[in-house]
Structures are given as C-alpha cells and as structure tokens.
Amino acid sequence: MSEQTFPYSMFPIKLIHNESGNKKTCYFQLKSHVEKYIERHKLKKNEYSLYFKDEKSMEDVGKSTRRKSIPKKSRSRQSSTN
C-alpha cells in the first residue's frame, strides 16, 4: 500500500468503519490495540475493514514499547518531636 494509504509511519494498521453514518478511519501501532478497539466499540466482522501496511504488522507483537513505571518507595512520615 502507498504512503497515501498509510500516512503515519508509526501506525501500520488501518481500520475503517461506519460510525453514525460517517466513514471513520483509525490507525494503530499494534494488532492488540485494534482488537481492544473492536471489542470496546462492539464491532462485528462485517462492520469494518482492516488493512496492514506490511506482513510484519500483521503479527501481534503484543509488547508495548512503553516502559512500565517502577513504584516509588513509600516514605514514612517522620514526625519531629522537639
């Protein structure tokens, strides 16, 4: 598919569906993100079209590139007695 079809290099997955009678185009980074979107909006297979920029994006990497934050150590309140 062309650059015009996938204008965002970071989003190789494209989903098109109708929402309130209007055509809506959404772009995603991971297949798991698309699945969450479909589930949240309760879309049926015949209600949307799914396109992939390349075969690599068809595989679900499933791992986000975001780092999980490390919980901060809790600081106990120190009361000062003078």
pLDDT in tens, 15-63: 999 999 999 999 999 999 999 999 999 999 999 999 998 877 776 544 4
Confidence of residue 12 (pLDDT cuts 50, 70, 90): very high
Please give the residue range of the domain that contains residue 48.
13-56
**52: closest CA among 4, 21, 6?**
6
Structural domain includes residue 45: yes
pLDDT at residue 50 in the model:
94
Structural domain includes residue 26: yes
pTM: 0.65
Structural domain includes residue 34: yes
Structural domain includes residue 76: no
5 vs 39 pLDDT, higher one = 39
pLDDT at residue 5 in the model:
84
Token look-up 């980074």 returns: 29
Structural domain includes residue 48: yes
Sheet holding 22-28, edge to edge: 22-28, 13-19, 48-52
Question: Does residue 48 contact residue 19 with C-beta atoms inside 8 Å?
Answer: no
Domain count for the chain: 1
68 vs 24 pLDDT, higher one = 24
Entry field: residues in the chain? 82
Residue 81 and residue 17: Cα distance in Å, rounded?
A: 65
